[in-house]
C-alpha cells in the first residue's frame, strides 16, 4: 500500500503528515479522508485550480494529466513542472510526497 507524505503547510498540515493511501483514489480524496482540508472549490470536477498540489516524489506513478487539467494548471498559483490538480491525480502503487502551495487563486475561500 503506498504512503502519501504531506510536507508541512502552515494552515493545513503545520507539522506535515503521512498516511497509507488507496490506489485508484485521487490525491484530493486521500487528503480529505485523512484530515488535510485542501481546498476544492469545484467539488473535484476539474473546473478550478484550488486543489493544486506539487508532487515532489512519485509523479511518474500517477495517471497522465488530460488536456483539461493541463489547461487549468496554467492558471494555478506557483505552477511547477511537478504540479497536478489533486482531484485529477490518481494514486498508483508508489509512495508520494506532496506539497500544498501556500496560496491558491481562490479569493473567496469557503470553510469545509
Report residue 3's pLDDT band, with 50, 70 and 90 as the boundaries.
Answer: very high
For domain 3-99, is the CATH number 3.40.50.300? Answer: no
pLDDT for position 107: 46
pLDDT for position 110: 42
Ranges of each domain in the chain: 3-99
Say if residue 112's pLDDT is above 50.
no
Q: How is residue 23 annotated by DSSP?
A: T
Say if residue 109's pLDDT is above 90.
no
pLDDT for position 52: 95
Q: What nine digits make up the cell of 56?
A: 515532489
Element counts in the chain: helices (H) and strands (E) = 2, 5
CA-based Rg of the chain, rounded to a whole angstrom? 13
Q: What is the pLDDT of residues 31-89, one digit of tens each?
A: 999 999 999 999 999 999 999 999 999 999 999 999 999 999 998 888 999 999 999 99
Check if the beta carbon of residue 65 is closer than 8 Å to that of residue 31: no
pLDDT for position 103: 74
Alpha helices in 2-66 (DSSP H): 27-33
The burial of 39, by beta-carbon neighbours within 10 Å (0-12 exposed, 13-18 middle, 19 or more buried), is given as: buried
**Angle at the Cα of 105 from the Cα atoms of 51 and 20, rounded to 5 degrees:** 15
pLDDT for position 106: 60
Amino acid at each position: 500500500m503506498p504512503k502519501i507524505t504531506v510536507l508541512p503547510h502552515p494552515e493545513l498540515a503545520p507539522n506535515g503528515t503521512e498516511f497509507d493511501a488507496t490506489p485508484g483514489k485521487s490525491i484530493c480524496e486521500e487528503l480529505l479522508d485523512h484530515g488535510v482540508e485542501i481546498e476544492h472549490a469545484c467539488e473535484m470536477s476539474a473546473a478550478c485550480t484550488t486543489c493544486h498540489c506539487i508532487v515532489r516524489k512519485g509523479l511518474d506513478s500517477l495517471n497522465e494529466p488530460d488536456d483539461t487539467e493541463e489547461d487549468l494548471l496554467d492558471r494555478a498559483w506557483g505552477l511547477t513542472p511537478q504540479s497536478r490538480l489533486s482531484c485529477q491525480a490518481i494514486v498508483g502503487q508508489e509512495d508520494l510526497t506532496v506539497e500544498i502551495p501556500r496560496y491558491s487563486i481562490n479569493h473567496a475561500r469557503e470553510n469545509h
